[in-house]
Structure 1
């Protein structure tokens, strides 16, 4: 039994057209014979130009044709409209909040209709994935914010109650928590703007060697204090980029190596390969776990190696790297380094002439 809706309306319309066509054929045939008889009458010896039996035969043939046409129309309409009706029902379920709804494409004999349903199902799956990602983001962000806020609240309440002295050490600890919150908010803002295509970039030809060396002079003392050696291998090239954002990318990659790599060499290289600018950051291990490598650039992914020297961070560092590089029209990838560590390679397009 057909459900009320588009299929029923179309089937009723097709049935009406079939009946109308049958009636038109019947009376049209009768009218044609009448006109033919008027202009070319039969001989007087003929009793009648069309007997009652002839009318019965003609009516029977038209009735059979009408039944066959109606049956064929209904079968064809069911095949055409079944996937469309399934699509309409699924669309209403998605509108009501059920993102798991999917349409049935039928037997795929009608290619265009099946393709439409497959595209709809792909769209519905993407919506469901986006909703799941948003739920995960909200939960993760709440967790990331709760930790520093809890520390801040506890420390401040302790100072109010007289449990802690508001000395320089305590105040510096509070400032660190505020910095952590500010960094989280800024990283979230960067990733969100880049994903929406609204990250503001000031692109101009930049001598990357100078920018990298300037950053290295700032962070090298801290790296050396923790047992790392920063080595630079830089080609002297100009690249159209946002210098501040590229420094942010490089700092994030070096910070990631400082947190998770063994103490040793961190090498930053800049070169041109196949008319592409390549920026690489490599360390001496242990690199990323195989299950983490595939999703390393997704938000809130952290390394969990037992040999990590320092945990922390908000899990957005590599996501920020990906967002900024892709905003430049480039690509970033991970591969094991020659020394068994992590190698992050960034492609930034053609050097400036």
Structure 2
């Protein structure tokens, strides 16, 4: 039977978690990217081969590129966006020449993901990533001071946000407020690009006249150019869902729901136009049926992120144990095992994020990318998958 290809994300030579630790954790491959190359520039074959050789010398394979960033000019259709699309196509051609055939990317404006607490302490004393709408409202209205931001929030939430900010400003001489700002502006781990408040304000202005429809149109244009190249060179493109899957700071979101995936797949009819199935991102929304997504879009799932979250009625959520939370992880793995048998193909998967536990509590790593927490998640997910495989195999032999 076909089983998930077990990988972990590695941010390159500067990653505090070495390749040896990833291999010891039980992964057979890594997900990586050339973060040192400026967004929009071509990934040259020499640079790709250099990274590939480093990974393979550690006894691992480079399974997926995560990610080949889409430049903001492409998302906004501004400046030299046509030239940048051509650069993107050449990078795909070069990756194919090096034998790397799966590319994860996203079309999220400005910030690839947003959390409000990177060290949320659990009852076990482990630490996790957390998102709190109240903190976002306080930041957006009273710190970022985005024009008309107050109109995007319920009046009661605005009042609560004002009180919330007053409280954290009184803590540790304003250190709590500073920490909130740094957390939200973190950007993408591994990237050289970080924001200041003024930079974020200015970049948000670029989306003033771009709503969901406009951004979706720009994505469609991008894919119309990219997918023919992907088809010719055997590249599977896998768009990552918005994280979190709803609008933040008034910015458009177009990869958040079942209908979003349906639109993306149907607009460009190609098996190479696919998705990254991320349970942690999609599971935040109560209206996302994660099982139905596998059943309906399975042929287009090229990469898998397995992560669990626990959410509440106020919209808060934190990243919980991989097998314990809002996401029905066991049923999802059952469906993924069946999907692989149907497609006669192993799909690359990584345990998306992990808690800070044990010795990792004393170490500095990229948020969510600790060694031991991800090892624990990988071991749990692999155990569940192997058990399901054995049960399905015995059932089929009866």
TM-score tier after normalising by the smaller chain length: under 0.3
Structure with greater contact order relative to length (CA < 8 Å, sep ≥ 6):
2
Larger Rg: 1
